[in-house]
Structure 1
Amino acid sequence: MPSIPFRLSRSWLAPVILAGTLAVGIGAAGAQDAPPVAVRGTITTVGADILKIKTNRGTDIDVKLDGATGVRGVALANIAEIQPGRYIGTAAVPQPDGTLKALEVHIFPPEMAGTGDGHRPWDLTPNSSMTNGAVGDLVVANGRTITVKYKQGEKKVVVPDDVPIVDLEPGDRSLLAAGTHVVLFARKDGDGALTALFISAGRNGVTPPM
């Protein structure tokens, strides 16, 4: 998820910017400023203002929706879209030689260049990180080896041919259907209930890899 130009609505842009800042340690608003809860799984049932989700860990949970919940689509992309100048995010793990090995790459539309700029810990796997920045140097050989440049520095990332590559697209609640794979961050309310801040929903059976 080449990218088709579109006009970003403020309702979609705001949660996507939040996606880029959550991992820096910014907590959701609340009495205890608790950090958002990451949920990865598949929607099993959709209600008017609630989703039932089977998580990747096999548990069943309910996640509430409210007027501020944002939705974006996640669609398949091609590794050839990773070109110098494109703004991307990549979850990755360190390698012995000091480079990073990508676990996934998501490609931002041009309108969102700069979103979540930087390098920070991520929770996809143990020791994983998230790096958002512009593609600089690129070497094509057995995949791609790229330099991801951000304001405070740069990282060299190896992107194997079999790593999931996706485009981020605008979306709405019509994407939220039984069987849809999602990644979401939610606010944990005082009673323990979860309310989604934003949802990344796979299009056409895609599983958001981030």
Structure 2
Amino acid sequence: MTFRIKLGAALMAAAFANAAFAQAPATTPTRIRGEIVSQNGDTLKIHRRSGDTVSVDVKPDVRVSAVKTMQLSDIKPGTFIGTAATTGADGKLTATEVVVFPESARGTGEGHYAWDLGPKSSMTNANVDSVVQSTNGRDLKLSYKGGSNVVTVPPNVPIVTFTPAEHSDLTTGKKVFIVATPASQGSYVAQRVVVEKDGVVPPM
């Protein structure tokens, strides 16, 4: 298998991992955002942004990916993206992060739904129909099955795409975004992991 094929497969796996993050099943898994404070075999201790520390079991077969930075100018009509956004008092959406999907992952998690990144937060996975320069950044007109909306992306918002990572990248001090299921009080079993790599922190 060539490196190009391996990389493509890894990106596809990462993209489908994001689908798991975005699509809330009947029993919604827990999204864990925080920093690795210790490691014992397959078990990570994560200090969460909420202030508590939890144990997360990361089995050897769990997918691990990272993200790399992209530019706002990389988002063009026809790009498929996922963006978390907040709703202002005027009802307008302002992006807090953007994930650019590879073309092979078009349609991943498509739709518009609630998200837990902050108050009045939502997630939209959609096609970019148009990009218009505005005083606050760029306005993206997005369309998805069943609807459309406009999201303003300010210049300072993190814009990333997925890149391969290994379990060996899960080291103390790294920031992580983990989708996990509860196992017992204060402990979880990871389903998907996105880890900080080359200084780029998962923004989702």
Q: In structure 1, what is the equivalent of residue 69 of structure 2?
A: 76
Q: In structure 2, what is the equivalent of residue 8 of structure 1?
A: 9
Does the CA-based 8 Å contact 1:41-1:182 persist in structure 2?
A: yes
Seq. identity, %:
36
Q: Pick from 195, 198, 208: which aligns with 2:189?
A: 195
Q: Given the alignment of the two structures, is residue 126 of structure 1 paired with residue 114 of structure 2, yes or no?
A: no
Q: Pick from 35, 47, 56: which aligns with 1:42?
A: 35
CA distance in 2, matches of 1:155, 1:37: 27
The residue identity in structure 2 corresponding to 1:169 is T
The residue identity in structure 1 corresponding to 2:49 is N
Q: Pick from 43, 46, 60: which aligns with 1:53?
A: 46
CA distance in 1, matches of 2:39, 2:67: 19
Does the CA-based 8 Å contact 1:148-1:154 persist in structure 2?
A: yes
Q: Where does the alignment leave 5 or more consecutive residues of structure 2 unmatched?
A: none
The residue identity in structure 2 corresponding to 1:206 is V
Q: In structure 2, what is the equivalent of residue 116 of structure 1?
A: 109
The residue identity in structure 2 corresponding to 1:167 is T
Shift of 1:115: 0.6
Q: Pick from 72, 80, 86: which aligns with 1:87?
A: 80
The residue identity in structure 2 corresponding to 1:64 is D
Aligned residues: 199
- TM-score, scaled relative to structure 1: 0.85
Q: Given the alignment of the two structures, is residue 170 of structure 1 paired with residue 169 of structure 2, yes or no?
A: no
CA RMSD of aligned residues (A): 2.2
Q: Given the alignment of the two structures, is residue 153 of structure 1 paired with residue 150 of structure 2, yes or no?
A: no
CA distance in 2, matches of 1:111, 1:24: 18
Q: Where does the alignment leave 5 or more consecutive residues of structure 1 unmatched?
A: 28-33
Does the CA-based 8 Å contact 1:93-1:102 persist in structure 2?
A: yes
SS in 1 for 2:91: coil
- TM-score, scaled relative to structure 2: 0.88
SS in 2 for 1:158: strand
Shift of 1:22: 4.7
